[in-house]
Chain A
């Protein structure tokens, strides 16, 4: 424990010295994040410096092994680092599907060569990934992927279409579920494959959403040639990798239920609640739910690090976290009244409130709908009978 206190002091001092003041301001919207990539777009020098300093220490992925670009920290040290970052108001230096989704799957299922090739690049923010899971008509029935992947001797040949591929138009590489055995039962013929988005035959098209923004794309594969060593895990056993990765995706999405800084919603809206006792009561109940949920997130992370978590726990987190995030934005809209309806004005920062409100409606759909999560809890935790 004394060591942990020493680590805490050192981490605090280092963050104090190295985290630029601008990186301690709360983020305003998704475009404020640093996503890294082959051609990274930094919003400021401070953002670039912060990402690079953290990456140099391995602290973009503090609990990954050092040999793969991580910080080599123990679970307890990682928790302390996160606490100190929160206390300093330090932003997450790098948003990355590589870190939150692909990395853990590569650590578990990747070959040594794959780990050495991809993990350090992910840790340094040099490669931006997108996820090719969903397909048209598949929706939540994820295992019904139809994108064809044929063994052509010296390479794989991929043909098909993905949808809801977040930031596909900005990504360098894709991790993707493809069907390698059309004859096998649907979960048994899937493989997990990685390829460069610059490969000939890959094209993307943004999908405009009700929020007026477009993080999602349609992605098309037309005779895409993929080198043989880019399948992760065994051929036809990609569903195991996909499930493992989904757990991490759900954990990441559920984190949004915490609403960033963790400040009480009521405290943020206090001025507007004064003359509205019923709204105040609704917000107070929301704050109870949000703080209780925060405790469950903490418990889940602690259990995960100690190897004690139930594999279906991310489903509870995803379900509860996304329902909470939707409720948060409903309340923000209600408190904002007609002011929060302005879609394009200086005052409304370009309609931040209504656009975010609309965006959250996708939270309980993407990454597996709330209904899918409840089904997983019913089946794998409560062990209710199947139909």
Chain B
């Protein structure tokens, strides 16, 4: 498969780009829901439109009513989400959770709502301030016919508005994933507004009782499912980062062509030209790595794990460079809330942490390479 978008994928990109710029724009979505201090941090009307556009079904099999497409296509939508900072449950619900529920009865239960853009689902994995899915402390003890879950989760994106949670817990014989509905007794949800105005919930499980059929897949065998889920989420987050970085760069390059100082356009200064060109080169590398990771994921290739980590680390670094250079080159107005460039810096920071930051993934690359 050549490493560029096919004609069909390019068409999807054009559709997504047009839709997100029109309906998902910063003024219409990000600022609107932030400024009204919305408890969900995003608009449900837009989520429904995502359903009407078919976006929510990209990774759902055709037999289940979806489009049966792959990670490249999910990434295409996420890049446009990134460009517009569109607040949406797409990444966690339509990419990560859809992957978790694939081929299970839970899929039958939740896919129709996700397809319609009505259901929001969240992923409860992180427990501390850093992403460490290898060391999950939350326990699930057998209790009667089911399990009793105890422990804490944090950074549960869209957790405050989720109808259902995919929860990773230790069942002594290994890791097990559970599907836990909101409103289950003993589950406390605290929505926390994050730096980018999105909501990342903290969850407290106080001996939460669930039935045996809450188990996703097999008891003690959740590690493999979680790996798939996190790969999907990481590759998706990488695309969103590429979108964030690309738009921050585009805004900055435009600014370099308009702003005059010392009687010249500042874009004429070689110091700024070279920094902008370096930034462009880093983003192109990140974009290629991300597409490669998504192609490998869709082919279920062995090297996918490694390339997903490369993509998440590289896109995180490139996007961070883009937003930081963006604010710096904008000068004082880059620091104002009125200008959008600073919003990109906040979103980049959150996306960098999500599903493991660049250091986490560089370490993973080292381990996968045997050092």
Contacts and interface: CB of A to CB of B under 8 A. Distances in A.
B330 interface: no
A184 interface: no
B314 A287 contact: no
B57 interface: no
A185 interface: no
Contacts of A381: 277, 280
Contact of A299 (B3, B268, B317, B371): B3
A12 interface: no
A103 B157 CA distance: 55
A41 to B, nearest CB: 37
Contacts of B256: 384
**Chain B interface, >50% SS class:** helix
A291 B3 contact: no
A292 interface: yes
Given A306-B2, A308-B4, A288 B267 contact: no
Given A284-B366, A299-B4, A289 B314 contact: yes
Nearest to B249: A382
24 contacts: A264-B371, A270-B371, A287-B362, A288-B309, A289-B285, A291-B310, A292-B286, A295-B285, A295-B291, A295-B307, A299-B288, A299-B292, A302-B2, A308-B4, A316-B280, A316-B284, A374-B274, A374-B278, A375-B273, A377-B277, A377-B281, A378-B277, A381-B280, A384-B257
Contacts of A9: none
A303 interface: yes
Interface residues of A, number: 44
Interface size class of B (residues with CB under 8 A): 35 or more
Given A284-B362, A308-B4, A316-B284, A384 B273 contact: yes
B365 A288 contact: yes
Contact of A292 (B276, B288, B366): B288
Q: Main SS of the interface on chain A?
A: helix
B297 interface: no
Interface string B347-371: 0000000000011011101100111
A116 interface: no
B281 A266 contact: no
B306 interface: yes
B289 interface: yes
Given A287-B369, A387-B268, A377 B4 contact: no
Contacts of B307: 291, 295
B235 interface: no
Contacts of A288: 309-310, 313-314, 317, 358, 361-362, 365
The residue in B267, B362, B363 that gathers the most chain A C-beta atoms within 10 A of its C-beta is: B362
Interface string B78-107: 000000000000000000000000000000
Contact of B281 (A283, A320, A375, A379): A320
Contacts of B276: 378, 382, 384
B311 interface: yes
